[in-house]
Structure 1
Amino acid sequence: MKTLNIAIAGSGYSARLFHVPFFKTDDRFRICKVYERSTERAKAWLPDVKIVRDYAELLTDEIDLVVITTPNQTHYAMVKQAILAKKNVLVEKPLVATSQQAMELNELAQQHHVTLYVYQNRRWDSHIATAKEILQKGLVGEPVDCEIRMERYAKSKNPKQWKETGEQGTGLMYDLGVHLIDQAVYLFGKPQAVFADIRSQHEDSVVDDNFDVHLYYANGLKVSLIASKYVRETNAQFALHGKLGSYLKAKADQQENLLINGIVPVGNWNAESEEWWGILHTEQDNQVVRYAYPNVATSYRALFDNLYANIIENAPQLVDIEQVILVLNIIEKAFASAKHGQKVSI
């Protein structure tokens, strides 16, 4: 078994919570270096790691994979530099701010025969993985409506100042919207059109912090994607309605909370009890049934499994870059829809 030598750019929330715990518990990966401009935060959870002050120091010969967890505005230049150094890249979402930049980087990665992988981990949320199975089994019939939410309560603006600058690639659409749209594309494919209401609710905010995005499909399906920072009492996080029945999951996936609380992501680390399962209310064998539908076994580790298999065995990427480009294109069309108050074709 080949061990991949890793260099990480950034030592913030994303690196500490969503990447390092999985790498540390997987013999297929070895964290060798972390790039921090002035701090040494990584030493708290990687006491023996080498801290470098120059990003170029991550791109040395022994490094197989560069993991980029820095602010969105830095992604394009850092990904491009890593690809030109012939390094495989795992980059936090969003890949970049525009679909054009994403297409350029994808082409560059293909030219240099390296992997470009985007950390769209929310495909492996419990409700999304379970809904995928329900759709594949046809348990609700032909889908007609779906609503996916990411709702939080935050009285103040984001303490991460780079998220509040107003630059392209910042704001809630590029934070949570990129997850929700990716989930919709993963479940249902490419929509035909989008209509969006994108707002700023925090006082003096220069970025969006609330949105209601509707995706329309050729078969009549509508997918509604909703996020806000002013929701203390949340609605059902996921609702899928079809011509036979419905699947609703009230509670959000708990992987992020478990990682925050220091749970080590090994084994059955994120299994949810039955009270957290969603409800399937449908027709089976000509009878109406309603019961708690067991969650599909899922974990963010599946992304790292696929990343490794892609680099080592050239296995197909589950987070395909063409889908990443589509998600960014939908975000661009959503902003155009919100600006002009009309449905926009995709």
Structure 2
Amino acid sequence: MPHRVVVLALDGLIPFELGIPQRIFGLPREPDPLGRGEKLYEVVTCSVRPPGPVPTDADFHIVVEHGPEALATADTVVVPASYALGPVHREGRLTGELAAALAHIRPGTRLVSICTGAYVLAAAGYLDGRPATTHWASADHFQRLFPKVRVDPDVLFIDDGDVLTSAGVAAGIDLCLHIVRRDHGTAVANDVARRSVVPPHRDGGQAQFVRRPLPETGLASTAAARAWALGRLDGPVSLREMAAQESMSVRTFTRRFREEAGVSPGQWLTRQRVERARHLLESTALSVDQVARDAGFGTAASLRQHVRAALGVSPTAYRRTFRTKAMAPGS
């Protein structure tokens, strides 16, 4: 029998994410010269209520033909994201309806979440003491709401054996392809990726998609030093020079800076250089060597080291993903 994947369609679901399991698990087949092999997975969609319409976050409903009893037949349960989880998002507590639905899941069933679907697994206690991830924009809130979960906000997905979680939106594709690879090998997963016109494996994690600008306020006593440094990122900037902009001793400046920015001046400066490099990689055709000089890293080797440490990918891989496609060569 095919491996049965049951996808739980919750009120307020995101249609794109609901469709990921159907697409990725719906393609793999047993090897057959004519391409007519049996499907390796059977994908079923169910609701927490009896069959009927389920509202989405778009301007349409979907009609689900299976109720929560379908969860009892699952080998794998997938929980995509939803924008209408109410107490789950606010208090980390399952509604009675959702708890009753999850009670149908048999022990030993593989559990998978896409994006903020991890809130449901965490509220049900499935993630206690385990590593997990979710969309980077929700990671801090998720960790506060579920302190027993070991949240990693930088990865695209986490495979913890019988419980797997993915980061936001398209990271659900990465996770589902990983599951196909784990179940049936690289060749099958690569074939599904080709037919879906997506890469079989993406480099890096969520960090490359996150912008973390440091808030600047006129009340900060080190704001002038930061503004001065930002205008000189392409050259050397010393701690003593930054302290001089505020007429402070190095010791006092370092203490004040850490209180206001949450990091040391050196760490902040490196972050700003990485942000400058990101901008140049995205918006110009400058060579990696020139980007390294203009961002203040000096050498391409130093740029690669810092970009990979911050973003999880090389400068070249980052540019390939994010550089403006319509930009004229040499601009």
The answer, yes or no, to whether TM exceeds 0.5 is: no
Question: Quick check: which one's helix share is greater?
Answer: 2
Larger Rg: 2
Using structure 2 for the length normalisation, give the TM-score.
0.34
Question: Quick check: which one's strand share is greater?
Answer: 1
